[in-house]
Amino acid sequence: MSARTPTTLVESGFMTKADTQARLDGKSGGPAGLRCTANRFAEFARQGVVEDCSRGVRRG
């Protein structure tokens, strides 16, 4: 999927769009853990390893 969010999905309310994580948290009314989860995922991306499932770990 492209980086652009389909307008019809946002207009229908199926998806929510925001410029920052903080704004998304405010719009979505989702759990406080959403930001924590997003930050954790971003850290995995920086490291190149997903600790939860050993993705990216080379086994010798």
Q: Name the residue range of residue 30's domain.
A: 20-60
Look at the pTM and tell me if it is higher than 0.75: no
Tokens of 53: 């499932």
Is residue 15 in a domain?
no
Instruction: Give the DSSP per-residue string, 18-56.
Output: -SSHHHHHHHH---THHHHHHHHHHHHHHHT-BTTTTBT
Backbone angles phi, psi at 16, to 5 degrees: -120, 140
pLDDT band at 32, cuts 50/70/90?
Answer: low
- Angle, in degrees to the nearest 10, between helices 21-28 and 33-47: 150
Instruction: Tally the domains of the chain.
Output: 1
Is residue 10 in a domain?
no
Convert the pLDDT of each residue in 2-25 to its tens digit.
567 788 888 898 888 888 877 887
